[in-house]
Copies of this chain bind each other. A is one copy, B any other.
Amino acid sequence: MNNRLGRLFTVTSFGESHGRCVGVVINGCPAGLPLNEDDIQREVDKRKPGAGAAATTRVEEDKITVLSGIFHGVTTGAPVCCLVWNKDVDSSEYEKTRFQFRPSQADYTAFVKYGGFNDFRGGGRFSGRITVASVMAGAVAKKLLGLIGVEIMAHTVEIGGIKARPLTLDEIRKNVVENVLRCADSEVAGKMDRLIRKVREEGDSLGGIIEGIAVNVPVGLGEPSSDHLDGALAGALMSIPAVKGVEFGAGFAVAGKMGSENNDPFVLKNGKISTVTNNAGGVLGGISNGLPIVVRVAVKPTASIARSQPTVDIKKMKEVGLAVRGKHDVCIVPRAVAVVEAIMAVTLADFALRVGMIPRVIK
């Protein structure tokens, strides 16, 4: 019921997968930020299904419309509302199987929670389509962060068990835009693509891992207790549909390391305090330490698959087989990369505003 991400820079979404639109109200954006529809469109386009094998056949133009908050190409300090209209909507399949819950989707929990009144078409409020709201907000957040030199990039590091090799920031920055799977390791991306095609053939789906990186984050964002920077990022990222795990820096690997291995010794680099390694992933005690913030999120395989699965029809209260038709991505990892970037941007912009590193009026 809260439906709000952030504390000072806040994001409130509305809309459903097969409703009229998906939109967002962004509160707390400083006045004076040059912003136009193209800035937002560019980020939204990154989330669109690409030409690749992974993506859905639902084709939404996703042309964004700004309803408020921008005047003469600049933010005014008032809430920014923007939305995309839903157009390529065919709800017929959903009507037919309305009472047959798709396994590992929110159909069942939504049905119980909302007493059956939820808009079930295309997953309604639970659809991955709602993430376009985050991406619109993320576009604004990225522009704000750009003012203080913070850059955010995310990339696919694993799909279906195939792992990308470690690359430098420069390589990631350069390669990721060109690759349809958003994987910076082009050789491995080829293997991923072949696996996706095979799995699509089989009516199945794949998951993977996305790594998000924020570079140039100033020291001092976040606090102990409930304003932990990593806590806030983890909470927001885990709320992206299909995400089942979040880890920072060395992440789960810390369980097998000793302190002497895992600690990041402080050193002086050009007269500034830095660390040799970054096992912390850029956060110490809930506060950014100036190193890149590195976070990885695990994305489950698309729950909607073409092959038949056992499930329950709640109206008849009997077990049935269900093959999900509709239009779905075989693997949403490549499209979710833009969402991870957006969520990181929104969270970091919020934290930068809290400590005054982004001013309330941009001059």
Contact = CB atoms under 8 A, between A and B. Distances in A.
Interface of A: 1-5, 7-10, 12-16, 19-21, 23, 25, 27-28, 31-32, 67-69, 71, 74-81, 83, 101, 103-106, 108-110, 112-115, 117-119, 124-126, 130, 158-161, 199, 204-209, 219-220, 223-228, 230-239, 241, 244-268, 271, 273, 275-276, 279-281, 284-289, 298-305, 307, 309-312, 314, 317-319, 354-356, 359-363
Given A252-B252, A258-B205, A356-B360, A268 B317 contact: yes
A102 to B, nearest CB: 9
9 contacts: A13-B79, A71-B124, A109-B289, A228-B238, A234-B235, A244-B251, A246-B247, A265-B311, A268-B317
Contacts of A206: 258-259
Contact of A110 (B207, B273, B285): B285
Contacts of A245: 245-248, 251-252, 254
B204 A268 contact: no
A270 to B, nearest CB: 12
Nearest to A360: B355
Contact of A68 (B7, B20, B319): B20
A62 to B, nearest CB: 16
Given A19-B68, A27-B3, A273-B314, A255 B361 contact: no
Q: Which 6 A-B pairs have the closest CB atoms?
A: A106-B285, A235-B235, A245-B247, A231-B239, A205-B259, A1-B28
Given A219-B113, A245-B251, A299-B254, A227 B14 contact: no
A275 B105 CA distance: 12
A3 to B, nearest CB: 4
A244 B3 contact: no
Given A13-B79, A263-B104, A67 B21 contact: yes
Contacts of A219: 108-109, 112-113
